[in-house]
Amino acid sequence: MATLNTKLLRQDVVARLDAAATVVATVFDSKSTPMTVADLPAVSVYTPTSTLDRPGIGAPIFRNTDLLKIEIHVREDTDDGAAAAAANDLEEAVLDALFTDPLWVKQTEMTVGATIARGVDTAGDVRRAVSSIQLRSQYRRQFKAPMVDRLETVHVDIDMIQPGDGPDGDIDTAQTIEGLDT
């Protein structure tokens, strides 16, 4: 994987959930993608916030913390709790798909916290049980500044030391090297 950033983290989670047979068939890489009743159960993955903390004043290296939200939507036809139980099962499948994958755990360096919120969405065309998994994932991010200075010429003056006398102030030889910026 290229240097990790918010977009790559989100896309990687979507790919891992798509590949996990125990999750759902429909995984969206956005919160803004409209879900139809036919899509349910479905998962949407998005990253609403990121923070970059710089530990020092040297190179532009930051500790990036992304809030990664994974929303699970399950159709609820009755009030018997079956949709809530199905959403709970999908929560576990999502967490297992991520936290049992050593490559995912390694690339994020650290998941510093997780929060799961559960509820019911009655605003759409069908009632839905919704679980929202919020992971705070940290990783190192470095920005490489472009080189604006170019070394074009080097000039060296040599004042040879005479044994016992030291330098005499006369330049014995000089060398100029040009065209170094190519």
27-60: pLDDT as tens digits: 988 887 778 888 888 999 999 999 988 877 777 8
Q: Read off the amino acid at residue 68.
A: L
pLDDT at 1 exceeding the cut of 60: no
Question: What pTM, to 2 d.p., does this model score?
Answer: 0.72
DSSP-assigned letters across all residues of 16-70: HHHH-TTS-SEEES-SSSPPPGGG-SEEEEEEEEEEEE--SSSSSEEEEEEEEEE
The β-bridge partners of 69 are 46, 134
Instruction: Please tell me the CATH superfamily of domain 6-142, with its number.
Output: Phage minor tail protein U (3.30.70.1700)
Q: From the CB of residue 108, how many other CB atoms can be counted at a distance below 10 Å?
A: 22
63-84: pLDDT as tens digits: 889 999 999 999 887 766 788 8
Q: What ranges do the domains of the chain cover?
A: 6-142, 150-182
User: How far is 150 from 137, CA to CA, in rounded Å?
Assistant: 38
